[in-house]
Structure 1
């Protein structure tokens, strides 16, 4: 009888040990699954912090949240200093992040220079083909894709608006000649203005501290300001707004977020929307549903005319009744 009890005790201990081992293995597997299958690290980089880029980043994060993904973000701004761009992306590569979100043309170029292995999704890029981020708007790069922020008709529509409402005007433009994104837009504006009565007057800056002086120097030459989606100038837009208000110069801007800063009108896009779409691309890549090169880059879905009524008043713009029907009105009392 004692032999039987001893044998029973040994078997019980072995069974309990086996069960404990299975539980531990199950726990370890679950933990590994959570880390590898549900938690991702995304390196997020943008050239500078301003409302449009910030909204794109917000939209990106929202899309990943809506996709049910657990994401840890390492956000870094280059503080509008080109010297900071490359080290940020190099750091992401050293940290072996799962994906890089590049929010602006310089940020995307820095990311692509840093890696050909880690997936990159971009937005707030004006011309991804000319910047050599992708071969064409029908074909992604090997490890990079995204959504540009310039609708194909945006500049043409803006120039048409200027011609219709400010005929024969001198159009003052301030931009950073070091941003290829901006150079391309200015050239497109000049092309669109050919055959019209509009004249383009330019001033270039190297950093945001030069924006106010450049805009001031345009006062005698410009009938209207047109500020494109130049990161350097938009980050100091308040100085341009102040001059436009003081001198009664209408201020046309490149995107709706700048209306909140005091711009008068824009044919713009919603940066939250393009950021969200970029996040949807990122979700497909992170979960393994698609490779970056299987997702063609995209244009924004649509543009529309936005007018800030308060800014129109502040800048001495004579109100046109047709705008009540043609535009989305903001800033009205």
Structure 2
């Protein structure tokens, strides 16, 4: 009889504790941590050094604020491998997962995300022309749930560099993907500014990475230099353009500095890791409760000049000493 009463008291105590826990309104420590963990989903149109550096900068900026991927932050990242249709699939997948913020790196991924993320903030990065890409209507007051960082290339300063190193160039070749809105905007701007300087821009397009080598070879005999804009398709196959430059003594200039490390002769642009860090700051603002539509679109001010002297020699060019003195790094 006593044994029965002891067991009854024990089970009653356990039941009471369970009921008390259920009615307290306080989640367990593990579930509380899980519920409060922020979720950032990152979509990137293709993998190449500039965009990868952007992504790393975002991740490091969040980590510096205490949001470490896999620990205090749920971080999901996917690449569309250069395919806009895949970018759309990724965007729809992320919307279904309902993250706190979607970060879209490069124009096609940003367009895909903004098109479907009606109630989820979207922060874009490395987008050349946010207005032309129809991501926002106003850079100062984006409105809605969208803002980000633009990487509009400093075309005038890049043309200055081309004319400083190769002053005899009159015909400048440019290879781009006509399906990328950012590239079309850049080439239009390039033609306007080049015309003012008496330069002729010779265009050729490649809408797939596998077409880049053929497009580069089509410029041989038509141009004295080649300029590669911040076009994701072309940059992903940069080495094939560089090889054409080597084989035909044609200097290859890049619209991004990471391409200089891969063989382009010279590049004046932003450090894309810094672009990522700046993007990460916007993500933190939104995670802390700010409305992205009230945050102005940011641009990058600081430029870096990189020179690849080995490539210059292979392309038959001697870099002037005054240009070398201005460069941040030589390869």
Q: So what's the TM-score if we normalise by structure 1?
A: 0.89
State the partner residue of 1:91: 93
State the partner residue of 1:122: 124
Higher mean C-alpha deviation, range 19-28 or range 96-105: 19-28
- Distance, in Å, in 2 between the alignment partners of 1:15 and 1:91 is 43
State the partner residue of 2:109: 107
Matched-pair contact (CA < 8 Å) for 2:125–2:275: yes
Paired residues, what number?
318
Deviation at 1:208, TM superposition (A): 0.7
Shift in CA distance, 82/22, structure 1 to aligned 2, threshold 3 Å: closer
1:317 partner SS: coil
Deviation at 1:297, TM superposition (A): 0.7
2:196 partner SS: coil
Instruction: Please state if 1:36 is matched with 2:35.
Output: yes
Deviation at 1:22, TM superposition (A): 5.7
Instruction: Please state if 1:258 is matched with 2:256.
Output: no
Deviation at 1:29, TM superposition (A): 5.0
Deviation at 1:324, TM superposition (A): 2.7
Shift in CA distance, 43/18, structure 1 to aligned 2, threshold 3 Å: closer
Q: Superposed, which structure 2 residues align to 1:316-331 within 5 Å?
A: 316-331=316-331
Question: Which structure 1 residue ranges, 4+ long, deviate > 3 Å from structure 2?
Answer: 13-27, 29-33
Matched-pair contact (CA < 8 Å) for 1:163–1:198: no
- Distance, in Å, in 2 between the alignment partners of 1:314 and 1:256 is 19
Deviation at 1:304, TM superposition (A): 2.9
State the partner residue of 1:193: 194
State the partner residue of 2:65: 67
1:56 to 51, 54, 57: 54
- Distance, in Å, in 2 between the alignment partners of 1:178 and 1:324 is 36
1:102 partner SS: strand
Deviation at 1:322, TM superposition (A): 0.5
Deviation at 1:23, TM superposition (A): 10
The Cα offsets for residues 128-180 of structure 1, whole Å up to 9 and x where unpaired, read as 111121122212231111111125xx101011222333234211111111111
State the partner residue of 2:248: 247
Matched-pair contact (CA < 8 Å) for 2:252–2:264: yes
Structure 1 residues not aligned, in runs of 5+: 1-5
Q: So what's the TM-score if we normalise by structure 2?
A: 0.89
Q: Superposed, which structure 2 residues align to 1:205-220 within 5 Å?
A: 205-220=206-221
Matched-pair contact (CA < 8 Å) for 1:124–1:149: yes
- Distance, in Å, in 1 between the alignment partners of 2:217 and 2:162 is 21
